[in-house]
Amino acid sequence: HIIIFISTTFFKCPYLEEGLQFSDNKIYFIITAKPPPPYGYIKAGEICFIDKQRFNTRQKNNDTDVLPVVRMGKVTDTLLDKVLLQPLSRRSAELLMAVESNEDRLLVLNDPEALEKASNLSAGCQVHVEYKGQWLTGVIRYIGSLKSFSSDPLTGVFFGVELQGEDKGKGQNDGSFSYKTYFTCPKNSGIFAPFTRIKPEDSSAGVNDGTYKGKRYFNCPPYCGLFVKLSSCRPDDRFSGVKKKLFNGNSVELVQHSLCASFFFSVTDNDEAMVSEEQDNVPPIRTEDVSNRLIGKMKGIQGHCNSCYMDSALFRLELILVVIYMDSQSGSIQKVQSCYYYQIFMDYNHHLVLPTVQQLLEHSFYSNSLKLAEVPSCLILTMPRSGKSFKMFPKIIPSTELDITGLLADGPQQCVLCGQLANQECAECFRDAAFSDTGFKYFCVKCSAQVHSHQQRRCHKPSTLILPQGFSYSQSSGSDRRTPPREKLELFAVLCIETSHYVSFVKYGPQDTDWIFFDSMADRVGNDGYNIPEVRACPEVGQYLHMPLAQLANQVPREMEGVAKRLFCDGYMYLYQSKTMSLYR
């Protein structure tokens, strides 16, 4: 009796240890080896099951050496030796059912950690998904079956992933499968995949789970907690929700990061008291204080829990710009759209070799029949990228001032020849080699008649401008003597990327040389330690930006001083501001 009890318990334990769920009164197995004849047609890797009640009956009769199991997709049972069967939890069985190949199922079975990680995934988790040999970044939007009906007690569980960032549009659907919508996302930005093609985004940014020397101070997932010396912590007044905590009479500010993770500052002393404090609006750092407060290592934002893109992006400002879509034939407004920034798109029919940001913006607006509906307080421009090298241009000259006068839909324009008030625009003249490489082509009546008297331009069709209120065009004199005002934006920040690492440049003062460079991962302490951010002054950037264009074109990037090469060769996002409009918006 004792021997039977031990044997029975030995066969029961694996199910309990696997954490089987009996909500559907089934016990699930995977066949680990090909059965001998007469069942040689059964393949290793198939999923099967037995009713719990039937199993319990055989267990009471001490008849569990051979089990009558039903394979998925079949209706009759098959007697298989228990040594060929490995028990599975319902969740593991569902995940393995989504794996198409039996051989792949057996391979995955040897990696229980992968099954456990997949079981812990939920909607909203950041993951990497494999598609056509590439690992793409996305967010889980759906977890479940892709079958509307099945006679089997369970079906394969797939992960519906919406691709994010630069991987948008590289998928296979819009969240639909077999004419059924499981989640909604942009076209070709959705992927359905088994767990074998899903990798959770690495969250091991810390070193512990809130435990220090065997004592728990707070709770967080494994490898997401950090303990640092109090002397290494500084108050961060950029974030709201600041509270002060007193440790033995010393005041320490606890800040919860509002974007990605929570930073916990802890000490091992006993006495502590919590005092809440309201936070006032904090004014920006004065130009004369930048050297003392910003320049140096361990300044700025530490590249630890965030990506370097987030760190560098937080070093600059994003506001709203308004763009309108024009009818290229009639010049009438089709649609007004508000957006956070403008992605510059370039066709390949251009002659630009060493372009400025001004030229790229004007060519993009021209190619896409766009105009600005109003003067933006902040304009964020993303540079064009395509091809294997991603960069359309090896070097881009940042325009320190962006003249947007010609890009405004309803603003007064200046004749490109005589400088007087214009009342005609010619789209065909934009690419005319006889004119300047920059600017839309606006003319007064007199200059337009002269320009289009040339036989090569007689086929052009200039459009008439609508003058804003307060401006009038005198037909008797042929021109309005008032010079239209110029609307210009100032460059104040640049986000750069080299390979996969982001850094940023920021102009902090009125002088041409008032530039600083920020790298959230400039240095590192130990392999399992932490990154050291650094902010450094880079006055050489201002010197290069104000060089004559011909002299700047002859500069060899690798011979440029300091970090200037990164600005000219790796520039990706340029931020401009209108100080006048910023007063009102």
Torsion of CA 497, 499, 502, 507, to 10 degrees: -30
Rounded Cα gap, residues 58 and 269, in angstroms? 60
Rounded Cα gap, residues 141 and 126, in angstroms? 10
What is the CA 281 to chain-centroid distance, rounded? 29
* Most confident of the ranges 22-36, 69-83, 468-482, 498-512: 69-83
The two tokens of residue 428 are: 């065909």
What is the CA 436 to chain-centroid distance, rounded? 38
Residue type, 138: G
pLDDT at 456: 81
Task: Give the range among 17-31, 78-92, 217-231, 258-272 with minimum mean pLDDT.
Answer: 258-272
Residue keyed to tokens 């210009």: 488
pLDDT at 10: 28
Q: Of these residues, 185, 308, 378, 447, which one is catalytic?
A: 308
pLDDT, mean of residues 539-543: 92
Confidence check: pLDDT of 457 > 50 = yes
pLDDT, mean of residues 552-574: 89
CB 256, CB 262: distance < 8 Å? yes
Confidence check: pLDDT of 540 > 60 = yes
pLDDT at 260: 33
pLDDT at 163: 94
pLDDT at 419: 82
pTM (global) more than 0.85? no
Rounded Cα gap, residues 188 and 184, in angstroms? 11
DSSP type of residue 20: -
pLDDT at 350: 66
| pLDDT tens profile 154-198 | 999 999 999 998 899 999 999 999 889 999 999 999 999 999 999
Task: Give the range among 121-130, 226-235, 511-520 with minimum mean pLDDT.
Answer: 226-235
Q: Establish whether 501 is a catalytic residue.
A: yes
Confidence check: pLDDT of 211 > 90 = no
Per-chain mean pLDDT for the chain:
76
**H-helix or E-strand containing 310?**
helix 308-313
Strand order across the 47-51 sheet:
77-81, 66-71, 47-51, 26-31, 85-88
Handedness of CA 310, 313, 319, 325 (dihedral sign): negative
Q: Say what percent of the chain tops pLDDT 90.
A: 23
Confidence check: pLDDT of 1 > 70 = no
268: Cβ contacts below 8 Å, ≥ 6 apart: 212, 213, 215
pLDDT at 276: 38
CB 375, CB 404: distance < 8 Å? yes
| pLDDT tens profile 44-65 | 999 999 999 999 999 898 888 8
Pair type for strands 198-200 and 126-131? antiparallel
Q: What is the DSSP string of 540-578?
A: HHHHHHTS-HHHHHT--GGGSSTTHHHHHHHEEEEEEE-
Rounded Cα gap, residues 435 and 439, in angstroms? 9
Q: Establish whether 447 is a catalytic residue.
A: no
For residue 314, name the pLDDT band (cuts at 50, 70, 90): low
What residues does each domain of the chain span? 2-88, 97-200, 309-402+488-582, 412-483
Render the burial of 197-227: b for 16+ CB within 10 Å, e for the rest.
Answer: bbeeeeeebbeeebeeeeeeeeebeeebbbb
| pLDDT tens profile 419-446 | 888 888 888 888 777 776 667 888 888 8
For residue 377, name the pLDDT band (cuts at 50, 70, 90): confident
CA atoms within 13 A on the CB side of 91: 16
What is the CA 489 to chain-centroid distance, rounded? 27
Confidence check: pLDDT of 147 > 80 = yes
CB 29, CB 69: distance < 8 Å? yes
Q: How buried is residue 414: exposed, middle or buried, by Cβ count under 10 Å (0-12/13-18/19+)?
A: buried
| pLDDT tens profile 478-497 | 455 667 778 899 999 998 88
The two tokens of residue 149 are: 């009906």
Task: Give the range among 11-15, 177-181, 377-381, 470-474 with minimum mean pLDDT.
Answer: 11-15
Rounded Cα gap, residues 93 and 177, in angstroms? 22
Quick one: 97-200 is in which CATH superfamily?
Answer: CAP Gly-rich-like domain (2.30.30.190)
Q: What is the DSSP string of 141-184?
A: EEEE-S-S--SSS----EEEEEE-GGGTT-SSBSSEETTEESS-
pLDDT, mean of residues 209-213: 82
Q: Which CATH architecture has domain 309-402+488-582?
A: Alpha-Beta Complex (3.90)
Q: What is the CATH number assigned to the segment(s) 412-483?
A: 4.10.640
| pLDDT tens profile 316-353 | 443 334 454 555 444 555 667 777 678 888 776 667 77
Rounded Cα gap, residues 242 and 517, in angstroms? 28
Task: Give the range among 7-16, 167-176, 390-399, 480-489 with minimum mean pLDDT.
Answer: 7-16
pLDDT at 240: 42
pLDDT at 424: 86
